Structure 1
């Protein structure tokens, strides 16, 4: 049964990355829940390697391939983000609607024909070495700005945040969020714990998922407001791919790398140089228009545009996103409560966020309904 007399169920979400924030909002806005996020880092904090959502490039391009379940998660997320990005939309300033061109060197089917304005490129228009090319309309997101929007929305809808470093899920299940905020157990017991710790799922007690690992990614942030389209080129077998992702602010994310189990926490200078060379070759328009008007641009022409170099540790998981439920002991005398998992998104956390949050909510409600029978 619900823990409080007014039938409001108390839910604690562990983690405040894009997955945790979106899941918390989805549960809070469903109604009938009081939701608290407990996390060590929040979007308004200074950037840190521990918080991957700061560093994400930010375009909605599904990696689902032929996976029907993941494609639905991504497409459901796209629909919500498209509404948010509309003129006058709730988060219009966080998004930029663009035309995206993608090239594939291995000839695979991109499985992106569900995207708006999707077209396959003729062979004579491909970049050298590419076997397949597609164009479509999508959107980009200014990730630092967007996660702060999510935090503000969650708080405005009545959510609560508590800063705390959770060592074991039993700390939350028994004590609630107040053990981190006030050093004592919360007055009302917790009805469910939602686990969205990203890479922290490796070490979080009660989870300790050894299938979770980092995929290191390095990017370069430039100021190039004249670029209003996106391009990328990739090969499955390489530990890198090339992309340019513009933001509404006039910034553009250039990348990148994808190296399994690369924990290195700061940008490597030689990788920055490689990224600049690859991105300029793919997108010469990165160079200022006045340069391109008189000569072929070089890397030196875009080096002065650099605002920041970044590294993020994408929270990947063998087997993909974990979306399921386990039952753990709650407060003494309460019995078992559901623990819902939503982590392991790798580099697709933003583009699968709303779809996976919806599944997490469904798992939560089915578990609580079964508990109350």
Structure 2
């Protein structure tokens, strides 16, 4: 093993944080990693706001905070299918590790949950089918069982992610591994480079078992390489005119009654070994993307979407859009409406029943969210690029709405580019990261992570690595 290199990652979304973990916990090499980003995951979110940033709701441009998210591949090319499959492999191992730890006996605290997924396509296309036919329990649906205007359908088992739990725990794990973060909106890559080893920067890192934000306990060395993973920020930071927002609006429902048993029956729930079920629909007119989806979080709340509006910067929820979303999802899963035996009773976790976003539908709305996905004309940019200030660069952005489902595959690909650029040893084939490969993964306890206690302005305590 060679001496440590210092890698700076510009971007604090799921791609940036996952890549940081892949480098810090490299199976062979040794890296120091500093994240420089205007937005970072919170360590104390328990509200319906996805990930509060210093007590306020995350900006819509911080797309990772607003994601659904489910692992249902819509890959169009083999390279993307590979990323998605590698990510699913890691997520299954993370789910197992989290489930086996004592605190995860409370299903409401799990960041990952298995679901019985139903997929519909308005047209049958072999490549689209191949992006999902590898999921566990994959079965084609009989033609006669399909809804109108649907040409093909299938069911399978997959994982959904509760983002207000998953993303903060990734961030906490990054800090446990010795990662450092600097919350700052850099105006250039050069500024991010300078800030990453400045003795005056305000750095978040683990100190005596707690995540603290203060002047660094030790000055880091000048970076050996920079990974640019700024999401939508690439438009301004990198001057990439191909980057554009893809506006997504979702409605978060409180519907704990909408289980696999309620929707599909007890036998399906038993065979699939799932408590929750999801559904989504792929429309040819939408470029082969999912225009309608239902994503259970595993705690009784369910994300319903959505929209894909390119170059739309509006961050305010639109009532008419919520009505349209509810119309579409209820056509696929009418059980999302309140059971009649519940009458007009209100659940303490839900907002007022007369929420105008509900329209004519009898649903319990917990929140209406808007996020700006980091799209890019021409697709994902994941490659080595020209040096900045004589420092090698890796570019990793433009994931649009598929950041979570391809996050680990993209992280490992970026890690290989770093290894190659710095003449380091590549991670072995099929490896993920050291703790996961060895079965020694120790992750934060959310009952500690999600407290409001702060000591000297620091974040809550998390378990040491």
Q: TM-score, with normalisation over the residues of structure 1? A: 0.88
Aligned equivalent of 2:370, options 289, 294, 311: 311
1:152 has 2:172 as partner: yes
What is the alpha-carbon distance in structure 1 between the residues aligned to residue 16 and residue 384 of structure 2? 16
What is the alpha-carbon distance in structure 1 between the residues aligned to residue 249 and residue 103 of structure 2? 27
**C-alpha displacement at 1:69, in angstroms?**
0.8
What SS class does the counterpart of residue 244 from structure 2 fall into? strand
Aligned equivalent of 1:203, options 236, 250, 257: 236
1:165 has 2:185 as partner: yes
**C-alpha displacement at 1:11, in angstroms?**
1.1
The structure-2 alpha-carbon separation of the partners of 1:140 and 1:175, relative to structure 1 and needing over 3 Å to count, comes to closer
What SS class does the counterpart of residue 306 from structure 2 fall into? strand
Partners of 1:162 and 1:177 within 8 A in 2: no
**C-alpha displacement at 1:217, in angstroms?**
0.7
What SS class does the counterpart of residue 88 from structure 2 fall into? helix
Report the counterpart of residue 96 of structure 1 in structure 2: 113
**C-alpha displacement at 1:82, in angstroms?**
1.0
What is the alpha-carbon distance in structure 1 between the residues aligned to residue 20 and residue 66 of structure 2? 21
**C-alpha displacement at 1:174, in angstroms?**
4.3
What is the alpha-carbon distance in structure 2 between the residues aligned to residue 236 and residue 315 of structure 1? 22
The structure-2 alpha-carbon separation of the partners of 1:180 and 1:115, relative to structure 1 and needing over 3 Å to count, comes to farther
> Aligned runs of 1:5-16 on 2, under 5 Å?
7-16=3-12
**C-alpha displacement at 1:179, in angstroms?**
7.2
1:218 has 2:278 as partner: no
The structure-2 alpha-carbon separation of the partners of 1:145 and 1:172, relative to structure 1 and needing over 3 Å to count, comes to same
Deviations 1:78-119 (CA, angstroms, capped at 9, x unpaired): 010011112326996101101100111133333211111111
Report the counterpart of residue 224 of structure 2 in structure 1: 191
> Aligned runs of 1:353-368 on 2, under 5 Å?
353-368=407-422
1:249 has 2:299 as partner: yes
What is the alpha-carbon distance in structure 2 between the residues aligned to residue 164 and residue 247 of structure 1? 31
**C-alpha displacement at 1:319, in angstroms?**
2.2
Aligned residue-pair number: 354
What SS class does the counterpart of residue 218 from structure 1 fall into? strand
Aligned equivalent of 2:362, options 302, 307, 313: 302
What is the alpha-carbon distance in structure 2 between the residues aligned to residue 321 and residue 137 of structure 1? 27
What is the alpha-carbon distance in structure 2 between the residues aligned to residue 212 and residue 179 of structure 1? 33
Partners of 2:34 and 2:196 within 8 A in 1: no
Partners of 2:37 and 2:182 within 8 A in 1: yes
What is the alpha-carbon distance in structure 1 between the residues aligned to residue 394 and residue 69 of structure 2? 26
> Aligned runs of 1:1-373 on 2, under 5 Å?
7-30=3-26, 31-44=29-42, 45=53, 46-65=57-76, 67-86=77-96, 87-88=99-100, 93-109=110-126, 110-111=129-130, 112-178=132-198, 181=201, 188-204=221-237, 207-227=238-258, 228-238=276-286, 241-290=291-340, 300=360, 302-303=362-363, 305-330=364-389, 336-369=390-423
What is the alpha-carbon distance in structure 2 between the residues aligned to residue 75 and residue 102 of structure 1? 17
Task: State the Cα RMSD in Å.
Answer: 2.6
What is the alpha-carbon distance in structure 1 between the residues aligned to residue 342 and residue 285 of structure 2? 33
**C-alpha displacement at 1:124, in angstroms?**
0.3
What SS class does the counterpart of residue 25 from structure 2 fall into? helix
Report the counterpart of residue 434 of structure 2 in structure 1: none
Deviations 1:27-86 (CA, angstroms, capped at 9, x unpaired): 111151111111111111132212111111111011113x11110000000010011112
Q: TM-score, with normalisation over the residues of structure 2? A: 0.72
Partners of 1:164 and 1:180 within 8 A in 2: no
What SS class does the counterpart of residue 309 from structure 1 fall into? strand
What is the alpha-carbon distance in structure 1 between the residues aligned to residue 18 and residue 222 of structure 2? 23
Partners of 1:126 and 1:132 within 8 A in 2: yes
**C-alpha displacement at 1:327, in angstroms?**
3.6
**C-alpha displacement at 1:243, in angstroms?**
1.0
The structure-2 alpha-carbon separation of the partners of 1:90 and 1:137, relative to structure 1 and needing over 3 Å to count, comes to farther
Could you list the structure 1 runs, at least 4 aligned residues long, displaced by more than 4 angstroms after superposition.
Answer: 89-92, 298-301
Deviations 1:295-318 (CA, angstroms, capped at 9, x unpaired): xxx964533x10000111111112
What is the alpha-carbon distance in structure 1 between the residues aligned to residue 407 and residue 393 of structure 2? 19
What is the alpha-carbon distance in structure 1 between the residues aligned to residue 154 and residue 8 of structure 2? 42
What is the alpha-carbon distance in structure 2 between the residues aligned to residue 255 and residue 358 of structure 1? 30
What is the alpha-carbon distance in structure 2 between the residues aligned to residue 339 and residue 201 of structure 1? 14
